Amino acid sequence: MQAPVLIMLLFVMAVQLLALAITPAITASGNRVFEDPTSASNPFIYLLLILGFTAFLLLAIRLRQRWVISGFILISVAASIYYVLVAFISPLLALIPTLAILLLLRFYPEWYVIDAFGILVCAGISSLFGVSLTILPALLLLLVLAVYDAISVYKTRHMISLAEGVISIKAPLLFVVPKSRDYSFRKDQVSVSSQEGGKRGAYFLGLGDAIIPTILVISANWSLPAASYYGINLPSFGAMLGTYLGFLFLMTTSRDKPQAGLPFLNSGVILGFLVGCAAAGIWPF
């Protein structure tokens, strides 16, 4: 296994383990994204939010309004960070680390800063959405987003345009894994859709590819009445292993061309979850 592949896999593992670790605090805070975690309409609300977010960014990219894209993304990032932090500290104190992270991302968006932030924010968002969805809505969300991801990458290709816009402004929406030690994300100007993919200085993995499968991991762990071992029940553990297998299958495709990650990752996490449920002897629906 090549080192960049292993590093990206470790990022996904770190996100899931950290999300599981902070979920008790998120649950205790009472914070929820959706008022009714059992509602089947929740996945479609989520999809509409994604479509609106994507359409706004693509319009700003087309109009060459880089400051709009950067400002909107950083504000969204700050809101996500703050929303997670208030589960652990007072709202006033949460403003200090939120502002510090925001300034760091704005003025020094190097790859290791982006990656460290990515692990933290992915874990927080995954936990928030995971405790806001029971199993059926979570599964429906994963299926819908897998289809959407495939269409947006292979058919309409608007997700590739969005990724190029994100990279050009150094926005913290991707994991960045350098191919060499002297790589600088701040100075990288290579297009993500370049046919000469081997000349790119790094591999990229969207934060959504870590967040979406982890939602099912968290949902399974808090909503199913299965025995837990070290704080993780069998359905959740199976979902984690399935995520990693799905990721490895994804990595068998060409990493020098844009690929839709969620069809692989979501298929893996769902199959792993079902195997975990069978091992636990429970019916998840």
Domain ranges for the chain: 3-222
pLDDT given for residue 37 in this prediction: 85
pLDDT given for residue 252 in this prediction: 84
Residue type for position 74: L
Q: What percent of the chain has a predicted confidence (pLDDT) above 90?
A: 35
Q: What are 167's two structure tokens? A: 């990279």
Q: What is the mean predicted confidence (pLDDT) over 84-97?
A: 88
Distance of CA 152 to the CA centre of its chain: 16
Compute the distance between CA of residue 23 and CA of residue 128 in angstroms, rounded to an integer: 8
Q: DSSP letters along 115-141, please?
A: HHHHHHHHHHHHHHHHTT--HHHHHHH
Is the C-alpha dihedral spanning 272, 278, 280, 285 positive or negative? positive
Q: What is the pLDDT of residues 117-168, one digit of tens each?
A: 899 889 989 999 999 999 999 999 999 999 999 998 888 888 888 877 777 7
Give bridge partners of residue 206 from the DSSP assignment. 174
Q: What is the pLDDT of residues 232-249, one digit of tens each?
A: 999 999 999 999 999 999
Whether the CB-CB separation of 266 and 142 falls below 8 Å is answered with: yes
**With 50 as the cut, is the pLDDT of residue 195 above it?**
no
Q: What percent of the chain has a predicted confidence (pLDDT) above 70?
A: 94
pLDDT given for residue 196 in this prediction: 47
Residue 172's pLDDT band, with cuts at 50, 70 and 90, is confident
Q: What pTM did the predictor assign?
A: 0.88
| Vertex 178: Cα angle to 177 and 184 (nearest 5) | 120
